Structure 1
Amino acid sequence: MGTFEEATTITAEGAVLDAQWSVGGKLHGGYLLAVLGRAAVEQAGAGHPHLTAISGSFVESPSPGPAEVFVETLRAGRTAVQVRARMSQEGRPCVEALITLGRLEESDAWWSGLEPVELPEEQECVRTPPDAPGAGFPVPLMEVVEQRLDPGHLGFVFGTPARRGVIAGWQRLADGSDWDPLSLLVALDPVPPVSYDLGLPGWAPTVQFSAYLRRLPAPGPVKVSMRATDVGGDRMDEVAHAWDAKGRLVGQATQLAGVRLPA
C-alpha cells in the first residue's frame, strides 16, 4: 500500500494514477481532483501553499496509469492564486477544474452555524471493507482509507434502507498520515453514495464536484456526513461536510452525480 502523497505525485511527465484509489474499477473523483490540486499547489509556489476551493467537471473516467496534467495560471494575487487544471490521457480530456489557492490557518471559525455530526465512538462504528456487502463490485479505496460508518445508517446492507438520505462516519488515511487540504477532497467524496440509503444501490458517477477547504485539520480522524438534497431526472445532489478531531468544520462539498432511478 502506497501513501496518499505518493499516489498524487506530479512529475515533469504528469501523474501516474494509482488503481488503489478506485471504486468498482473507476478512479475515485476526490482522488482525481487531489492530483490536479497537487499540480496547482506546486505551480502556485510557497506563498499560496493550500488549495482553498475547487470546482471540477468529469468528462471521461481515466484509467490507472500515466496521465497528462496541465495547469494554467489565470490570476496571481496577494492572497489568492486562481488556476485552471486539466487531466487527459492519450489526448482525451478527462477532468477539468478551476482551483483557488491561498494560505489556510488552524484557527477556529469566527462564527459557525453548523454543529458537527453526532456519531457513536469510532470503534463502535462499522469499518467498510474493500469487498463491501451489497455493493456488487470491489472498493479498493477502502484499503487506503479507513472508514467506519454509523451503524444506524447501514440499513441498506440488510435490505432496509432508512430512506433519510444521510450516511455519516469516521475516516482516517490508512497510511497513518494526517489529513490535509488535498486529501480532504477524498474524504468529502465518501462511499457509498447517499443513494444507497434511499434504496438505490449501484454506481453513482460524479458529474460535477465543488469543494471549499476552510482550515487546516487537527491530527486525527475526521467526521464526515453526506446528505442528499434532491433526486430526480437520473441525477442526485449530495452535500458533504467534514469536521476534524477538534470538532471544527474543515471542508464542505456539493456534487451532482448520476443515479439509476426505478422504472
Structure 2
Amino acid sequence: MGTFREATALTALGDGEFGAVLDAEWSVGTRLHGGYLLAVLGRAACESAGGAGHPHVTAVSGTFIEPPEPGDAVARVETLRVGRSVAQVRAALVQEGRTRVEAHLTLGLLDDSDAWWTASEPVELPPEQDCFLAPIDAPGAGFRVPLMAVVEERIDPAHLAFAFGAPSRRGVIASWQRLADGSDWDPLSLLVALDPVPPVSYDLGLPGWVPTIQLSAYIRRLPVPGPIRVRLSATDVGGERMDEVAHIWDAKGRLVGQATQLAAVRLPA
C-alpha cells in the first residue's frame, strides 16, 4: 500500500505540464476514483500556480469526460489569473492524447480557524469502533473496491440495511473516515472523501455503477489531525441522473469540506 502523497506524485515536464502515474489502488471496481483524479489535478495546480500565497485548493469544479486507465498520464495546467488572495487555473488530465478529466480550480490560503457563523452541525455517528469497516470485497456490490485498502471507512450500522437487501430509502449514508497510511487529512486528500463510496443510491435500493458526470467541491478550512465524519445524501433522482451532496467535519466537529455531484444512475423500468 502506497501513501496518498505517493499516489498523487508528479514530475514537472515544463510549460505547465506534469507527468503522473495513476495508481490502481485508488479505484472503485476497475475505474479510478473521481475524487482521487481531482486530487491529482489539484496537486498539479498548486505546484504550477500556488506559490507561497496560494498553496491550497479551495474550490474545484470537475467534469469527467472519459475514464482514464491506471498508469502514465499528463496533467496540463493553464493559469488564468493570479490575484492577491486567489489564483484561478484550468487543468486537464490527458492520457493517450485525449482529455479524460477537466477542472477549474481556485487556489488560496486556508487556516484552521473556526467559522464566524455556521448552520452546519456534524452528523451524529456511533463511536468508530462500533461502525462497520468497509471491506475491499463489498457485500452486494458485485465488484471489488480497491479504494477501501487506502481509505479506512467505517459506516454507521444504521445506514447498512442495503447490504442485507432492505435499503432504508432515506437517501443518507454516513461514516467515519481515515487515510489508511496514517497520514492526516489535508485539502487535497479531502477531495477523495468528498466523493464517498458507496454511493447513496445503494440506500435507495439502486445498486450498481454510478459514474460521476460533474463534481463541484469547496474546502473550507484546514482539518485538525484525526478522523473525519462524512455525510452523503441525495436530493432528487430521476431521468437516470442523481445528485449527491457530501459534507465533511473534522475531529473538532467543524465543517471542512462540502461537495455536490451529478451522477448517472440506472433506474428500474
TM bracket, shorter-chain basis: over 0.9
The residue that corresponds to 1:118 in the other structure is: 124
Are 1:28 and 2:25 matched, yes or no? no
Q: Which runs of 5+ in 1 are unaligned?
A: none
Separation (CA, whole Å) in 2 of partners of 1:78 and 1:43: 16
CA-to-aligned-CA distance 1:33-61 (integer Å, 9 cap, x gap): 00000000111212211000000000000
1:9 aligns with 2:2: no
Q: How does 1:87-236 map to 2 (within 5 A)?
A: 87-236=93-242
Select which of 240, 246, 249 maps to 2:255: 249
Matched to 1:152, the amino acid is A
The TM-score, its normalising length taken from structure 1, stands at: 0.99
Letter in 2 for 1:7: A
Residues 94-129 of structure 1: CA deviation (Å, up to 9, x unaligned) = 000000000001000000001100000011000000
Shift in Å, 1:211: 0.1
TM superposition shift of 1:88: 0.9
Name the SS of the counterpart of 1:54 in structure 2: strand
Q: 1:41 maps to which residue?
A: 46
**1:241 deviation in Å?**
0.1
- Counterpart of 2:67 in 1: which secondary structure? coil
Specify the code of the residue in structure 1 equivalent to 2:40. Answer: V
- Which one of the candidate residues 221, 225, 239 is aligned to 2:245? 239
**2-structure distance, mates of 1:138, 1:85:** 30
Task: Kindly report the root-mean-square deviation, in angstroms, between the aligned alpha carbons of the 2 structures.
Answer: 0.5
3-state SS in 1 of match to 2:69 = coil
The runs of at least 4 consecutive aligned structure 1 residues that moved more than 4 Å come to none
Q: Distance in 1 between matches of 2:2 and 2:244?
A: 29
Give the CA deviation at 1:12.
Answer: 2.5
CA deviation profile, 1:77-100 (whole Å, cap 9, x unmatched): 000000000001111110000000
Note the alpha carbon deviations across 1:7-37, whole angstroms, 9 max, x for none: 0011135100000000010000000000000
For residues 53 and 100 of structure 1, what CA distance do their matches in structure 2 show? 5
Q: Which amino acid aligns with 2:28?
A: V
Equivalent AA in structure 2 for residue 103 of structure 1: L
- Point out where structure 2 has 5 or more consecutive residues left out of the alignment: 14-18
One-letter amino acid of the counterpart of residue 144, structure 1: V
1:154, CA displacement in angstroms?
0.3
The CA deviation string for residues 202-252 of structure 1, in whole angstroms up to 9 with x for no partner, is 110000000000000000000000000110011000000000000000000
Percent identical:
75
